[in-house]
Amino acid sequence: DGGITQSPKYLFRKEGQNVTLSCEQNLNHDAMYWYRQDPGQGLRLIYYSQIVNDFQKGDIAEGYSVSREKKESFPLTVTSAQKNPTAFYLCASSQATHTGELFFGEGSRLTVL
């Protein structure tokens, strides 16, 4: 089945450690996105990529990094520079259709101990 796979689903890390969240899609979508969700804050855009080897900062990119070396993969690294990394992270992809709706993965919950 086509879809978006995020891993791991739950992740714990110590302060000062970098961690990478995986996002893979087999929908053949060009665009991919990373959102962060905190309680009462809705979804906030971290980074997005319209094509391979190109990506743009979203509204809250500080402390995060991404790469887009392959069309189907868009990993997100949460660096030690991110002050409040504990959150629910959602990856999404879309295609340039009439609606262009986002298709989401099931999310990764990161907890910093």
Partner 1 sequence: AQKITQTQPGMFVQEKEAVTLDCTYDTSDPSYGLFWYKQPSSGEMIFLIYQGSYDQQNATEGRYSLNFQKARKSANLVISASQLGDSAMYFCAMREISQGGSEKLVFGKGMKLTVNP
Q: Which residues bind partner 1 (CB under 8 A)?
A: 31, 33, 35, 40-45, 48, 50, 56, 58, 88, 90, 92, 98-107, 109
CB-nearer residue toward partner 1: 14 or 98: 98
Least Å distance, CB 85 to partner 1, is: 18
Structural tokens at position 10: 């739950």
**What's the closest the beta carbon of residue 45 comes to partner 1, in angstroms?**
6
User: Whose Cβ is closer to partner 1: residue 3's or residue 17's?
Assistant: 3
Alpha carbon distance 16, 56 (integer Å) = 25
Alpha-carbon span 39 to 83, nearest angstrom: 17
User: CA neighbours within 13 Å on the CB side: how many for 65?
Assistant: 8
Give dist(CA 77, CA 83) in Å, integer: 14
CB of 6 vs partner 1, minimal distance in Å: 10
Between 80 and 109, CB nearer to partner 1: 109
Name the residue nearer to partner 1 (CB basis): 18 or 53. 53
Q: How far apart are CA 55 and CA 75, in angstroms?
A: 12
**Smallest distance, Å, CB 104 to partner 1?**
4
Contact between residue 32 and residue 92 where contact means Cβ atoms under 8 Å apart? yes
